[in-house]
Structure 1
Amino acid sequence: MATVRTLRISLVCLFCLMFIAGFAYRSLRMTLHSASSGFYLLHSAPHNNSSPASMELELQDLMKVIEWPEPPGPIDYNFSTSPFKTEFHMPFPRATYYVGEYVEFLITARDHHGRLKTYGGDYFQAKLHSPKLKAGVTGSVTDHRNGTYTASFLLLWPGQVEISIRLVHSSEAIAILKDKRETRPDKVYFYGFFDGTNETMECNVELAGPDICKYLDAQTGESWFCKKPKQIPCNAYKGHSAGQSQDILTQKEASFLNKSVKEKLISSKVGTFMVSPKNNTNDRGICSSGLPNPNPSGFYYQDFWQSRVCRNRAFPTPSNVTKCLSGKIIYMFGDSTTYQWWNFLLDLIPSLQRQELHMKYPAPQLAIDPENEFAVQWQAHQRPLTMKYSDKEELHYIANELDRIGGAKEGLVIVINCMAHFISLPIRFYIKRLRSIRESVLRLIKRSPLAKVSIKSGNTGYLYIHGSDWLSLQLDTVMRAMFSGLPVTILDAWQMTSCHYEPHHLHPGPVIVKNEIDLMLSFICPK
């Protein structure tokens, strides 16, 4: 036992040394390879694992996956779908309902004058829930492309249930969102900072015009652009921060996206109804990589998420969590939603200690539990990031970081999240980022077959300016398509945040975060 304990402690110490040494190494490399042209060659050679033809083919296939019905032409506001006139009913009511059965509701879309819509493309979110039981499940909505929709729900628990359906966006609003996503990446821009001047410059993933600095990462092939400061060379670039949002909507376009007509519950005369119990066999297997997510992927009951993917577990106490994580190194890559996970673990586990690295968020953060011999690192994904100031030496592409992780035999856990900061950009940028991450994940798994890799889906509730759950849904659908069939776990935070009784928010409350983390732990420690 003493030998095992010594090895485990050494593992954590080694992690710390590698973490600190990694920053010194990267700082040196970036200094040596800064070029006067403004290109930062962070690594010696690109991956080049995908031909341009195959990449273009995948892009076309993914665009087909996220195709969305469009209005037949320019539509006046009064002819767009109204959440106050649209309604749903139960076309085939039954005397009794049993657990394990499906129940369907017909949504009939109407415009602001109450007239029936004749085409589809509206985006609805539906859930079946029992407030007293703290239970909820997401429903699936089928668009019949004629102004009607079917909302289908799987009955998963006995008791009194009710239905809630909200119109997130009309089809007319979605046409505007889609157009602005693809044609106006400048609607959200960033500030670039340079040594030798207090002047901040506009930066983005795409900039046109003269006097533009281009910063290329040779390994991933991704670029970052900034307007060049006066009298300052491009290689003086030192970091970026969130910038500003531009109002790009006309008065007419803004009316379709006004908060008075989006994210609104639609009415119905359907009341609550009772679901009777039925003996069902639990045929879920243990949680392991590569399992597909059924629809629905799970449900809440008494505030506990019961996965339909596998037999997930609850980890109610800090000791349950530390027993699972003992001897492991966990890398979390992503945005503020995975940072929420990192902070939750830090607050939950008394023996987990934040390490003082003299770097403020969103720089990488490290926590070590010397008592239970495990470590958790959080690191933001590379630009674009609408966060506080980030030094260029503290931000790195997830793909490059994964390629630096060695071939550990066991105890290696990777959690990846990358979505919210790409909402405002043309979708090709997101696909390119995910492709490089996917390739590096496959290389990592080849080096370390026992590594456990999880991809956290996006949360619902991205309701900031230029944000939308429809835009988030598009990216989430792309992510699932790109990682399907691979030996990774897709943690379905999308449904976990969409059917809970708490208000929709990009950063959900502790009860949802705890369930998300417990689901992750169920794949790390399935038994």
Structure 2
Amino acid sequence: MMFKVCKRREVGTFLPKYGVIFLILSVSVIIFALKNVDFQEFKVNSTVILQKVSSDPFLHHRFCTFQPLTTEDAQEQDLILDSIAWPETPALVSLERTSDPAHSYFTILPKKGGGQWHVGDQLEVMIKMYDFQGERKKSGGDFLIARLHNWSLGAGVAGHVVDHLNGCYSAVFTLLWERSAEVQVTLVHSSEAITVLQKLTSEQPDRIYFKSDFRSDAVSEHTTCNVCLRPTLQPVCNYTDLQTGDPWFCYKPEKLNCNTRITHSKGGFKQNLTAGEQKLFQGGVTMKVPLWPSGPSSVTVMPKRKEEKNSSVKIGNSGYYYQGAWRALGGTPVLQFNTSSAISNCLAGKTVHLYGDSTIRQWFEHLTAVLPDLKEYNLGSLKQVGPFMALDYANRILVTYRCHGPPIRFANVPTSKLRYIANELDRVTGGSNTIIVLGIWSHFSTFPIEVYIRRLQSIRRAVVRLLHRAPSTLVVIRTANLKALTLYETLTNSDWYSLQCDKVLRAVFKGLNVRLVDAWEMGLAHQLPHSLHPQPIIIKNMINVLLSYICPEKDELVFLS
């Protein structure tokens, strides 16, 4: 969403063919490395007492501990924080004074100059928010999403929402197909709910907590771990990464030392809301509720005018759906890879490294499902955790997946498998046959956004180093996406938290020679329900975007903008 005061208008080469012996040796080396190499770069393993006040060399965000940034990174962080700042939102007084989707509505505004709507025209919708007493809201800060669609055509596009900070909002669309186009506007969270989400991050960044097992001979203990540990007199094991500076701490076991830590797991969730606050997160009542139209909810779109046949569509969207397929608006055209042979031909001779959370693991699972000759090797890894590796020897295709380092809400991850993406990228040789895919966002939503900014800055430095030593390496980044929201999901992984992460990710990698898969728009524009793990047809479209970057119609350079 954008904010504007008052007026409404704003609108490597892979394995050479040297035979089976070389293949067996190479695969053995890869398997050995993935299974057994335990680089302890993520361990400082010192014992400290967390203080309640700031002290060198650490800075504190309440009880979250950060190392100081360089001047350049600190300035960038401040700029990013300013760019994602949400309008001031009111505190909860009573539910009756909060935004009510049942009383609120949207109106399609008349076309400027009158006449028929044509492909390429800008459609604007005015949204007015009211509370449960039917009174007009006088301030902004509601989280609204909008899309334009025609499900019979398999068509959809995300809308651009502008907050006028006075209870009025605009949603702007470019008309991209002929026939009917219907508007849908949804209230995700009221401004009062945003106030609660902000307070949770500030006061309870440890509401998702983690556990680690410690073991030495017959002695076993487990303790709580987190980025943000509340200060106590109990000693703390400091596992801050030596290379990246990413912080991680565990309370020290009573009997064992810090070097005996063997596993990492999600521990649980602590909910601490008032009864009134909980009412702000009722699905179908106060959360993720469509608004009704005041008047028609759709327009009929005629073909593009003859005098505009060759004009390009100027729009901020990355793409839209038509006939169920994602089409890019600028940049690399999205091709359709509808058969396993088409995908294999594109990936032949390529190594694809996937790093991130479970939303990027979906891509590994999709590729191994649709490519019958891409065989997964059993590395003895847990299904949720990885690492995973799959090889198609005939086509010389290697695909790997590794989850990112903590915070990560997986169960029973061996500490030897906890790897930070930046450190992994520093081990990649790179080259024209190497594709790096990054997807990291979902597990950072409960922490101060500075934690995520710093993680991405670290990853960006590693990407820059990789592109300096191997400029032809293709780096692709998957953005955040919308999801179905329960109370638990909202308090730990709300779409508002994801939106903040999405904005940060785009800002950090802006101007760098990386490609973007816009999962946010691809989920919002589609007719299927939102899901943390998008349904297969959406994943297929994402993979088509990825493959189009790998095998474009013609060589072209596309930067994040």
The C-alpha deviation readout for 1:300-321, integer Å capped at 9, x for no partner, is 1111000113311110100110
- Superposition deviation, residue 31 in structure 1: 11
Match of residue 62 from structure 2: none
Match of residue 228 from structure 2: 206
**Conservation of the 8 A alpha-carbon contact between 1:333 and 1:380:** yes
- 1:328 matches 2:346: no
Match of residue 40 from structure 2: 30
- 1:455 matches 2:466: no
The C-alpha deviation readout for 1:337-381, integer Å capped at 9, x for no partner, is 111110011010010000111222302100001121110001100
Rounded to whole Å, the distance in 2 between the matches of 1:507 and 1:114 is 37
Identity between Structure 1 and Structure 2 (%) = 35
- 1:432 matches 2:454: yes
Which of the numbers 357, 364, 368 marks the counterpart of 1:346? 368
- Superposition deviation, residue 183 in structure 1: 2.4
- 1:157 matches 2:203: no
Q: State TM-score, norm by structure 1.
A: 0.91
- Superposition deviation, residue 17 in structure 1: 4.6
Alignment of 1:212-231 (within 5 A): 212-231=236-255
Match of residue 88 from structure 1: 106
Alignment of 1:225-304 (within 5 A): 225-259=249-283, 260-268=285-293, 269-278=295-304, 295-304=316-325
Rounded to whole Å, the distance in 1 between the matches of 2:494 and 2:241 is 30
Judge which range, 53-62 or 146-155, deviates more. Answer: 53-62
The C-alpha deviation readout for 1:68-87, integer Å capped at 9, x for no partner, is 11235554321111111110
Letter in 1 for 2:404: H
Match of residue 501 from structure 2: 475
- Superposition deviation, residue 24 in structure 1: 6.4
**Any idea what SS the aligned residue of 1:6 has?**
coil
Rounded to whole Å, the distance in 2 between the matches of 1:213 and 1:282 is 63
Structure 2 residue runs of 5 or longer lacking an equivalent are: 1-13, 49-67, 554-561
Rounded to whole Å, the distance in 1 between the matches of 2:290 and 2:41 is 55
Query: Closer, same or farther in 2 for the Cα pair 1:174/1:37, shift >3 Å?
Result: closer
Rounded to whole Å, the distance in 1 between the matches of 2:274 and 2:15 is 66
Q: State TM-score, norm by structure 2.
A: 0.85
Rounded to whole Å, the distance in 2 between the matches of 1:338 and 1:8 is 32
Alignment of 1:409-448 (within 5 A): 409-448=431-470
Rounded to whole Å, the distance in 2 between the matches of 1:5 and 1:54 is 43
**Conservation of the 8 A alpha-carbon contact between 1:97 and 1:274:** yes
Query: Closer, same or farther in 2 for the Cα pair 1:349/1:8, shift >3 Å?
Result: farther
Letter in 1 for 2:530: H
The C-alpha deviation readout for 1:278-308, integer Å capped at 9, x for no partner, is 2665788xxxxxxxx9621111111100011
Match of residue 309 from structure 1: 330
Match of residue 76 from structure 1: 94
Alignment of 1:49-60 (within 5 A): 52-60=70-78
Rounded to whole Å, the distance in 1 between the matches of 2:439 and 2:96 is 39
**Conservation of the 8 A alpha-carbon contact between 2:155 and 2:324:** yes
**Conservation of the 8 A alpha-carbon contact between 1:12 and 1:368:** no
Rounded to whole Å, the distance in 2 between the matches of 1:30 and 1:492 is 34
Query: Closer, same or farther in 2 for the Cα pair 1:477/1:341, shift >3 Å?
Result: same
- Superposition deviation, residue 161 in structure 1: 1.5
**Conservation of the 8 A alpha-carbon contact between 2:404 and 2:418:** yes
Rounded to whole Å, the distance in 1 between the matches of 2:198 and 2:90 is 15
Which of the numbers 117, 127, 133 marks the counterpart of 1:113? 133
Rounded to whole Å, the distance in 2 between the matches of 1:468 and 1:484 is 24
Match of residue 44 from structure 1: none
Letter in 1 for 2:386: A
Alignment of 1:119-130 (within 5 A): 119-130=139-150
- Superposition deviation, residue 32 in structure 1: 13
- Superposition deviation, residue 232 in structure 1: 1.4
- Superposition deviation, residue 271 in structure 1: 3.2
Rounded to whole Å, the distance in 2 between the matches of 1:282 and 1:447 is 41
- Superposition deviation, residue 229 in structure 1: 1.9
- Superposition deviation, residue 53 in structure 1: 2.0
Match of residue 181 from structure 1: 201
Match of residue 558 from structure 2: none
Rounded to whole Å, the distance in 1 between the matches of 2:460 and 2:115 is 49
Give the alignment's Cα RMSD to 1 decimal. 2.6
**Conservation of the 8 A alpha-carbon contact between 1:326 and 1:373:** yes
Judge which range, 66-75 or 441-450, deviates more. Answer: 66-75
The C-alpha deviation readout for 1:188-231, integer Å capped at 9, x for no partner, is 11111111444432111121222221112110011211122221
- Superposition deviation, residue 19 in structure 1: 2.9
Letter in 2 for 1:117: K
**Any idea what SS the aligned residue of 1:482 has?**
helix
Which of the numbers 346, 361, 377 marks the counterpart of 1:355? 377
**Conservation of the 8 A alpha-carbon contact between 2:44 and 2:242:** no
Match of residue 61 from structure 2: none
**Any idea what SS the aligned residue of 1:165 has?**
strand
